[in-house]
């Protein structure tokens, strides 16, 4: 018997997809697996011939409303349940302390970025003033922009999933790895509470 990881590797391993698409593919794979398992192992589970279970939910609701009859007695209408905040794909696993530390660091980085933007803007204004005295025509200085992180679509997806402003990514450069090793070696308890 193959493991779920091997099946996913064979199914999607060579696809160049991002984080969001990978989550969607895994959700679809999980849905199909659960549906096939229900068809094989649950007594009287209807074999509908497709995986679009929300269509069966709609049909069941319509038949019940119009004819007061349950079309598939063993079918559970997932559409009838209340939506919750529970996630099944990427879920945040970091502690509150680490989250607070990351939020504080993000605020600090954004303030530093904004300070540099404001300084550049002030230099541009002074430069325009000097040019204005020597020339009769001059372009107005553009409004200063607001500091924000430049992230890829994958990084934005990770931020949204984790509820953070910056994604948690693996260390890649030798400097990052060395800094992490120094931080980890200086702590007696090596968990994310202490690392924060």
Query: Position of tokens 């099946």?
Result: 7
Mean pLDDT, residues 114-140:
77
pLDDT band at 1 (very low <50, low <70, confident <90, very high): very low
DSSP annotation of 171 reads -
pLDDT band at 141 (very low <50, low <70, confident <90, very high): low
Cα three-residue angle 164-165-167, rounded to 5 degrees? 70
Structure tokens at 107: 């605020």
Q: What is the mean pLDDT of the chain?
A: 82
Query: Position of tokens 């260390």?
Result: 171
pLDDT band at 172 (very low <50, low <70, confident <90, very high): confident
Q: Percentage of the chain with pLDDT > 70?
A: 88
pLDDT at residue 115 in the model: 92
Residue 128 reports pLDDT greater than 90: no
**Residues 52-86: pLDDT tens digits?**
888 888 998 999 999 999 888 888 888 777 777 77
Instruction: Please name which of 37, 40, 80, 74 lies closest in space to residue 57, comparing C-alpha atoms.
Output: 80
- Chain centroid offset of residue 45 CA: 34
Q: Which of 115-119, 122-126, 186-190 has the highest mean pLDDT?
A: 115-119
Angle, to 10 degrees, between the axis of helix 19-41 and the axis of helix 4-12?
Answer: 130
pLDDT at residue 103 in the model: 92
What are the helix (H) ranges across the chain? 4-12, 19-41, 53-67, 96-134, 153-162, 174-186, 192-195
Q: What is the DSSP string of 31-68?
A: HHHHHHHHHHHSTT----SSS-HHHHHHHHHHHHHHHS
pLDDT at residue 108 in the model: 93
Residue 130 reports pLDDT greater than 50: yes
Question: Residue 17: CB partners within 8 Å, gap ≥ 6?
Answer: 25
pLDDT at residue 30 in the model: 86
pLDDT at residue 193 in the model: 61
Q: What are the backbone dihedrals phi and psi of residue 152, each rounded to the nearest 5 degrees, phi first?
A: -75, 170
């Amino acid at each position: 018997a193959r493991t779920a990881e091997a099946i996913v590797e064979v199914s999607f391993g060579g696809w160049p997809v991002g984080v969001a698409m990978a989550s969607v593919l895994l959700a679809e794979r999980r849905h199909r697996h659960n549906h096939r398992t229900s068809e094989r192992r649950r007594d009287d589970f209807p074999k509908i011939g497709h995986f679009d279970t929300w269509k069966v939910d709609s049909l069941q609701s319509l038949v019940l409303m119009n004819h007061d009859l349950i079309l598939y007695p063993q079918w559970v209408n997932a559409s009838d349940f209340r939506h919750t905040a529970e996630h099944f794909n990427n879920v945040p696993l970091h502690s509150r302390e680490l989250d607070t530390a990351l939020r504080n660091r993000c605020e600090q980085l954004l303030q530093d970025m904004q300070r540099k933007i404001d300084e550049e803007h002030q230099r541009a204004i002074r430069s325009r003033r000097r040019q204005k005295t020597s020339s009769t025509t001059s372009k107005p200085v553009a409004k200063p922009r607001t500091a924000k992180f430049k992230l890829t679509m994958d990084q934005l997806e990770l931020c949204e999933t984790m509820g953070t402003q910056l994604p948690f990514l693996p260390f890649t450069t030798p400097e990052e790895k060395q800094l992490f090793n120094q931080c980890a070696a200086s702590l007696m308890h090596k968990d994310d509470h202490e690392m924060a």
